[in-house]
Amino acid sequence: MSVYCLADFHLSNQVDKPMHKFGQEWEDHDRKIKENLQRVLTDADLLLIPGDVSWAINLYEAKKDLVFISELPGRKILLRGNHDYWWGTLRRNYRAMEKWQIDNIDFLQNNAFRVEDPDLGGLLIAGTRGWIFPNDPKWQKSDQKIFEREIQRLALSLSQAEKLRKSGDKLIVMTHFPPVNQQLAISEFTKLMYNHQADVCVFGHIHHRESPYQLSGELIHGIPLVLTACDQVDFRPILLDDYLKS
């Protein structure tokens, strides 16, 4: 098994939300995603998708996008992004998967997963969406409650991961928003990751080349941070195996 990550699919198979208006690189982007993933993934692999999966506003509208993802190779673990308005409760999401006969998609929200592989050993996956930071120019008073809730959700997810942990396990943390501010300072998010001995954190959300978040394994608080937004990595999945080997 190998572990890959790719964020920000921004699919719109049932809604009118063309992505090419955001830049030429988004032209026919779903085909690029499909071809690139089919080129490297096998059904034995794990694909992490840290948010902004679909432009749909409810589960019904997201059906074709989730079917598209289910038809890609491997097991998929999805995290909610700020544009995933279709995302319901875990119970509702899994009920839809059962109805649509999709058995290779899982949802990460206030929970955690453990997978085991002969080569990589035990892997724990935890995470939360995250939010903008208080020094962000767009910050408003109403953001404080959301920001604090996301810290609590990461703590909850990591505590769930600890219940699953076995000796020697590696820990992957997924966030949608970057887990640090634009100054790349240690944050409450990275403190939690550090305290739980995270081996790598993957995130998305960032869509401009001049961002300070153009990170491909740089260490912050001792944790490699990896930007995986698809338009920033040429719509090619990022292989995480090297971060997970002893």
Q: How many CA atoms lie within 13 A of 219 on its CB side?
A: 5
Q: Are 182 and 212 in contact (CB under 8 A)?
A: yes
**Strand 216-220, strand 223-227: pairing:** antiparallel
Q: pLDDT tens digit string along 14-36?
A: 987 777 777 788 899 999 999 99
Pick from 104, 96, 60: which is nearest to 78 by CA? 104
Kindly report the CATH number assigned to the domain that includes residue 108: 3.60.21.10
- Give every strand in the sheet of 75-79, ordered side by side: 105-108, 75-79, 46-50, 3-5, 238-239
Share of the chain above pLDDT 90, in %: 90
Give the chain's domain count. Answer: 1
pTM above 0.75, yes or no: yes
Joined tokens for residue 26: 């988004």
Q: What is the pLDDT of residue 24?
A: 82
Domain that holds residue 177: 3-244
Tokens for 180? 């640090």
Number of helices (H) and strands (E) in the chain: give both, helices first: 6, 11
Pairing of strands 113-117, 121-128: antiparallel
pLDDT digits (tens, 9 = 90+) for 56-91: 999 999 999 999 999 999 999 999 999 999 999 999
